[in-house]
Chains A and B, each alone.
Chain A
């Protein structure tokens, strides 16, 4: 099992640019979560899906953030336009029963 796969591992972009983060969950897992981690705010849940349907997006900070899950094996988190305060590590996680399996994360730096 390859686990949860995220890409890219690192992203450096200029303020105002569009950023797309990608996630491939573990096959068979019916829940998918996007988290953001910073020193100041810790792990924040942004949005989660169940069977590809967004269930709770109340953690999405602004309209600049959007997430999609077009099928059971792929999800994206898009930031447009990006701002320096979006710099963080973004984790995708998937789950079947109770424990979450996290991907290795995408470290985003917006300059």
Chain B
């Protein structure tokens, strides 16, 4: 099946630092989505990307749809303690279900 390689698996950063994580695939996707999951909750959609090269921001979060359509990255600027959680990338091809990465576990040290 389709695989998404998400990295890094985990990160420990100081409050105020910027964070970068990415997702790559051997397959082309039409849509890239980024989710955040807090403990005991379901994943919450952060950003959706629909066009190759698209750069979209949501507050301190910025995500890009790679020009090759095989990758995407998520940046978080000036991290704060509530950014702690697991971040998932997900790719989707037309009329197929989302494929999820394994997640990046982010820890923020105050």
Q: A and B: partners?
A: no
A→B interface (CB under 8 Å): none
B→A interface (CB under 8 Å): none
